[in-house]
Amino acid sequence: MKAIRVTDFGGPDLLKLQDVPDPKPDSGQVLIRVKAVGVNPVDTYIRSGAYARKPNLPYTPGTDAAGIVEAVGSGVKHFKTGDRVYTNGTITGAYADLALCEQSRMHPLPAKVSFAQGAALGVPYGTAYRALFQMGRAKAGEILLVHGASGGVGIACVQFARPLGMTIIGTAGSEKGRALVVAQGAHHVVDHRMVDYEKQIMSITEGSGVNLITEMLANVNLAKDLGMLAQGGRVVVIGNRGTIEINPRDAMAREAAILGLILWAATDAELTEIHAGIVAGLENGTLRPVIGHELPLADAPRSHQLVMEPGSYGKIVLVP
Ligand code: NAP
């Protein structure tokens, strides 16, 4: 099969399409014929060598894929050859024609959901569910600020929160991104590149502040986030690319909580809950991943550049 291989940590050009032997499923494992691969920012951090969790070299990147079951190992009960599935983790890497997975990391992909959309679920929708429900205690009637709503995780937050009955303020840095955020269900949209965007957000809340923030760039926004919270408000830190100075008094005055999230820390039971919620939302049509770019697998280097550029518009997927 063809697979993207990384033989050294460094820049995007180190992602090389190569021939490698086909993997074979062992007991409890499933082999997927990959139809689409989700490109996540974390794939670039790992490739660069800057991430805390480093794979052994050489490796094939990627956790999120969608496709068709090609073969199953002994003891696999819930999947059979020909099933449409998505993954939230692979053994051999997702950037490939075939991906080997533990059956616990596979989930059914409803017929109305495309493979590209299936590849957009694992990290983005898993993170959004964990941020809103497992950490943020999201409730109907509350005001949610999705700070960075135009990308993979942000759109998922908007789509989960809207049918719950939250009032949603989403932010994006481009005109196109802001139009997308409204189309996905946000009640209000704000440009996070404006110097005083927090004044607009406070005005939308009529001065009361927001109850919950899902934050995609904490090193830029956390200090302002604390000042925008209502009493008892929560900030879930999802994305962070540096350091920031905050005034702890802003949190004290509101009895606010700053909650750091790392999806890898979710337990098996929490992942079961997360994917039951995602599959239900796909089935009832409330979750509809938006695909901004589809590129051939050989263009993995370009996809790693694109995912780090401003002007996000949904998800970037690779097609083997
Ligand atoms: P993505 O698809 O690349 O989207 C990035 C989002 O961040 C876009 O909405 C972008 O908006 C927004 N953004 C850019 N500048 C911003 C600013 N100054 N203030 C607020 N938002 C800003 O990435 P993603 O998959 O949604 O992931 C978002 C972040 O969360 C990444 O840093 C990722 O590494 C992290 N993450 C962490 C976990 C975890 O376990 N903690 C899990 C998943 C993702 P514009 O492009 O419109 O400006």
Query: What CATH number should be reported for the domain holding residue 133?
Result: 3.40.50.720
**Bridge partners of 146?**
170, 214
Question: Distance from the CA of 233 to the center of ligand 1, in angstroms?
Answer: 21
Question: Distance from the CA of 319 to the center of ligand 1, in angstroms?
Answer: 22
Rounded Cα distance between 62 and 255, Å, is 39
Assigned domain for 281 exists? no
Assigned domain for 9 exists? yes
**Does residue 165 contact residue 286 with C-beta atoms inside 8 Å?**
no
Residues 146 and 163 in one domain: yes
Residues 95 and 139 in one domain: no
Residues 132 and 223 in one domain: yes
pLDDT at 165: 98
Assigned domain for 312 exists? yes
In the chain, the number of structural domains is 2
Question: Distance from the CA of 74 to the center of ligand 1, in angstroms?
Answer: 40
Question: Distance from the CA of 40 to the center of ligand 1, in angstroms?
Answer: 10
What six digits make up the tokens of 125?
Answer: 């929708």
pLDDT at 233: 98
Rounded Cα distance between 234 and 146, Å, is 12
pLDDT at 22: 98
Residues 75 and 55 in one domain: yes
Q: List the residue whose alpha carbon is closest to atom 5 of ligand 1.
A: 151
Q: What is the CATH number of the domain that holds 98?
A: 3.90.180.10
CA angle at 304 for the pair 301 and 305, rounded to the nearest 5°:
90
pTM: 0.98
| Ligand 1 atom at minimal distance to the Cα of residue 240 | 32
Rounded Cα distance between 287 and 158, Å, is 9
Ligand 1 contact, 124 CB (< 6 A): yes
Q: List the residue whose alpha carbon is closest to atom 31 of ligand 1.
A: 239
Rounded Cα distance between 159 and 157, Å, is 6
Assigned domain for 246 exists? yes
Question: Distance from the CA of 97 to the center of ligand 1, in angstroms?
Answer: 28
Residues 86 and 161 in one domain: no
The pick from 43, 135, 153 for probing ligand 1's pocket by mutation, whose C-beta has the most ligand atoms within 8 angstroms, reads: 153
Q: List the residue whose alpha carbon is closest to atom 33 of ligand 1.
A: 239
Helix axis angle for 152-164 and 268-284, nearest 10°, is: 70
pLDDT at 153: 98
For residue 150, the enclosing domain spans 124-264
Ligand 1 contact, 127 CB (< 6 A): yes
Strand pairing report for 84-87 and 65-72: antiparallel
Ligand 1 contact, 194 CB (< 6 A): no
Residues 156 and 253 in one domain: yes
Assigned domain for 301 exists? yes
User: What pLDDT tens digit does each residue of the chain (320 aa) get?
Assistant: 999 999 999 999 999 999 999 999 999 999 999 999 999 999 999 999 999 889 999 999 999 999 999 999 999 999 999 999 999 999 999 999 999 999 999 999 999 999 999 999 999 999 999 999 999 999 999 999 999 999 999 999 999 999 999 999 999 999 999 999 999 999 999 999 999 999 999 999 999 999 999 999 999 999 999 999 999 999 999 999 999 999 999 999 999 999 999 999 999 999 999 999 999 999 999 999 999 999 999 999 999 999 999 999 999 999 99
Residues 115 and 160 in one domain: no
Residues 214 and 114 in one domain: no
Residues 159 and 257 in one domain: yes
| Alpha-carbon torsion, ordered 52, 56, 59, 60, to 10 deg | -40
What six digits make up the tokens of 303?
Answer: 């996809």
Q: From edge to edge, which strands make up the β-sheet containing 143-147?
A: 188-191, 167-172, 143-147, 210-215, 229-237, 257-260
Minimal CA–CA distance to 278: which of 101, 66, 68? 66
Residues 155 and 259 in one domain: yes
Among residues 246, 264, 282, the one where a domain terminates is 264
pLDDT at 186: 98
Question: Distance from the CA of 28 to the center of ligand 1, in angstroms?
Answer: 34
Assigned domain for 278 exists? no
Assigned domain for 212 exists? yes
Assigned domain for 255 exists? yes
